[in-house]
Amino acid sequence: MTRTSLRNGALALLGSFALGCIHIAPEPKSLQQSEAGLVARSLADLGLRSYLETGRGSPVTEWPLRRWDLDSLTLAALYTRSSLELSRAHVGVAEASIVTAAQSPNPSLALSPEFSANPGLGVSPWLAAVQFDWPVETAGKLQRRVERAEAATALARLGIPVEAWRIRLELRRAMADYVAARTREDALRVELEQQQHRDRLLAERVVAGATSQVDASLARVQRIQAEIDLADARRQRLDAVARIAAAVGVPETALAEVELDFPLDAGTDPLLGLDEVEARRNALHERWDVRQALAAYDESEATLRVELAKQYPDIHLGRGYQLDEGQNKYALALSFDVPILNHNEGPVAEAQASRREAGVRILETQERALTEIELALAHRRGAVEEGREMENLVREQRSRLVRAQAAYQLGAVGGLAVADAEIELSRATVARIDAQGRVQQALAELEAAIQGPSTAVDQAANLTPDHSAGDRP
**What would the pLDDT profile of 182-236 be if each residue is shown by its tens digit?**
999 999 999 999 999 988 888 888 878 777 787 778 888 888 999 999 999 999 9
| Host H or E run for residue 338 | none
Taking residues 376-401, what's their average pLDDT? 96
Taking residues 450-461, what's their average pLDDT? 72
Taking residues 417-442, what's their average pLDDT? 95
Distance CA 159, CA 171 (A): 18
**174: nearest Cα among 66, 249, 86:** 249
Q: Is residue 103 scored above 70 in pLDDT?
A: yes
Taking residues 420-425, what's their average pLDDT? 93
| Host H or E run for residue 294 | helix 288-309
- What contacts 161, CB < 8 A, 6 or more positions away? 288, 451, 457, 458, 460, 461
Q: Is residue 28 scored above 80 in pLDDT?
A: yes
Distance CA 424, CA 401 (A): 9
pLDDT of residue 19: 58
pLDDT of residue 383: 96
Q: Structural domains in the chain? A: 79-233+264-460 (1.20.1600.10)
Considering Cα of 238, then 244, then 249, then 255, what sign does the dihedral take?
Answer: negative
DSSP letter at 442 equals H
Q: Is residue 279 scored above 70 in pLDDT?
A: yes
Q: How confident is the model at residue 291 (pLDDT cuts 50, 70, 90)?
A: very high
The pairing of beta strand 126-136 with beta strand 114-115:
antiparallel
Distance CA 278, CA 284 (A): 10
Q: Is residue 473 scored above 50 in pLDDT?
A: no
pLDDT of residue 24: 84
ω into 453 cis (within 30 of 0): yes
pTM: 0.85
Cα-trace Rg, the chain: 37
**135: nearest Cα among 313, 289, 12:** 313
Please, what is the end-to-end C-alpha distance for the chain in angstroms? 61
Is residue 254 within 8 Å of 43, Cβ to Cβ? yes
User: b/e map of 209-222 (b: 16 or more CB within 10 Å)?
Assistant: eebeeeebeebeeb
Taking residues 151-171, what's their average pLDDT? 94
Backbone φ and ψ for 88, nearest 5 degrees, come out as -65, -40
pLDDT of residue 389: 97
pLDDT of residue 365: 95
DSSP letter at 104 equals P
Q: Which of 318-327, 352-361, 420-429 has the lowest mean pLDDT?
A: 318-327
Task: Using a pLDDT cut of 70, give the percent of the chain over it.
Answer: 92
Q: How confident is the model at residue 391 (pLDDT cuts 50, 70, 90)?
A: very high
**DSSP helix/strand/coil, 266:** coil
More confident residue, 439 or 117: 439
Number of helices (H), then strands (E), in the chain: 12, 7
More confident residue, 17 or 321: 321
Distance CA 70, CA 76 (A): 10
pLDDT of residue 321: 76
The pairing of beta strand 67-69 with beta strand 259-261:
parallel
Task: Using a pLDDT cut of 90, give the percent of the chain over it.
Answer: 59
**Count of residues in the chain:** 473
| Host H or E run for residue 436 | helix 415-450
pLDDT of residue 55: 85
Angle (CA) 321 324 327, round 5°: 85
Q: How confident is the model at residue 472 (pLDDT cuts 50, 70, 90)?
A: very low
- What contacts 261, CB < 8 A, 6 or more positions away? 67, 68, 69
pLDDT of residue 192: 93
**73: nearest Cα among 46, 37, 43:** 43
Angle (CA) 291 292 294, round 5°: 65
Is residue 362 within 8 Å of 298, Cβ to Cβ? no
pLDDT of residue 129: 82
Count CA within 13 A, CB hemisphere, residue 141.
17
Distance CA 169, CA 215 (A): 47
Considering Cα of 468, then 470, then 472, then 473, what sign does the dihedral take?
Answer: positive
Is residue 376 within 8 Å of 446, Cβ to Cβ? yes
Is residue 306 within 8 Å of 145, Cβ to Cβ? yes
